[in-house]
Amino acid sequence: MHILVTGGAGYIGSHTTLQLLERGDTVTVFDNLNNSSTISLERVSQLIDKPINFIQGDLIDTNELHKLFSQFQFDSVVHFAGLKAVGESVAQPLRYYQNNVSGTLNLLQEMQKANIKTLIFSSSATVYGDPQALPVTEEAPVKPTNPYGQSKAMIEKILSDLCDSDSEWRIACLRYFNPVGAHPSGYIGEDPSGIPNNLMPFVSQVATGLRECLSVFGNDYDTPDGTGVRDYIHVMDLAQGHLAALDYLANQPSGKLLTINLGTGRGYSVLEMIEAFEKTIGKPISYRIVGRRSGDVASCYADPSLAEKLLDWKAARGIEDMCIDTWRWQSNNPRGYREQQ
């Protein structure tokens, strides 16, 4: 199978690209390198011992997209490309809607023209907003609380309308919970630019000494220890979820829209994550409790049973693997891929 991976130079895209290549698929990565560099793909190429087909381009540029689809005959598309910082999306909503929604529309139009109708889309648990009931099932109301989440919800709606209009489309919207960890080689991983927004990259940068102290955003939530609870999922498990979704869609007798949670079903608090990381590295992580971060919810964790039932996929890696692999990546690459630039 020849699979187009948009955003394949990024964190989740690079891990998925590697797994697709490992199982024998042909992959073309399309990425504008807005939040990544080609070093991730060079590393993937070294791990698989094969060259990677990479096209630098932007989903916003319809000419580039048209050229891409004229050049190759893809069987399916795994669509990671998008902007993902919640705070930035509040400050720059137009940029987020333009990049994420318009970029996806451009992609879908080219796919339609080329008669390629199988798509895996990176959605997010952010679409649930502040969930009313836990664990969160796919039936829970979609109520995003920021432009980033709105852009994901809008794309999901567009994809649903598309499937209604034409029964040949096979689409999976994968709602990721909190991706963490790295490839066990420590060769590829998450490389946030600037100060990390997410918990685990921040914790691991405190561990290497790049940052002084972690701010824990609030210890007065209605959770067992007062700190926020999330469903952290190892990026290797997440990548495998994409392969399972591609297989599922390929085996459907006709068109299909699948909306599915990819999480572990287990929530961990911020303090539990710190403790697990301290255990892994054998030294304390310096942190202080500060006020709540605006827009944060107390708890969010998945009911992952639909993924297990339909995709025969279940997260296999626990918190220990998440910490060990995060640490291997971070300690081998304290400045991420920039070390080499």
Among 54, 69, 74, 80, binds ligand NAD (CB under 6 A): 80
DSSP string, 120-152: EEEEEGGGG-S-SSSSBPTTS-----SHHHHHH
Q: Is 228 in the site for ligand UDP (CB under 6 A)?
A: yes
- Our CB check for ligand NAD shows the closer of 76 and 122 to be 122
Cβ neighbours of residue 174 closer than 8 Å, sequence gap 6 or more: 120, 121, 122, 123, 241, 242, 245, 260, 262
- Our CB check for ligand NAD shows the closer of 173 and 298 to be 173
Q: Is 4 in the site for ligand UDP (CB under 6 A)?
A: no
Largest CA distance in the chain: 56
Among 3, 5, 10, 17, binds ligand NAD (CB under 6 A): 10
The closest of 120, 126, 171 to 152, measured between CA atoms, is 126
DSSP string, 84-102: --HHHHHH-HHHHIIIIII
Among 46, 70, 73, 215, binds ligand UDP (CB under 6 A): 215
Q: Is 179 in the site for ligand NAD (CB under 6 A)?
A: yes
Minimum CB separation from ligand UDP for residue 77, in Å?
Answer: 25
Catalytic residue among 128, 148, 248, 301: 148
Instruction: Name residues contacting ligand NAD, limited to 32-71 (CB under 6 A).
Output: 32-36, 58-60
State the residue for tokens 């969160």: 136
Could you tell me which stretch among 25-33, 145-153, 182-190, 191-199 binds ligand UDP (CB under 6 A)?
191-199
Partners of 302 in beta bridges? 136
Q: Is 117 in the site for ligand UDP (CB under 6 A)?
A: no
Please confirm, yes or no, whether 337 is among the known catalytic residues: no
CA distances from 51 to 17, 23, 32, 115, 306 (A): 12, 15, 19, 27, 36
- DSSP letter at 40 equals H
Catalogue the active-site residues. Answer: 148
**Residues in the site for ligand NAD, rule: CB under 6 A?**
6-7, 9-13, 31-36, 58-60, 80-84, 99, 103, 122, 124, 176, 179
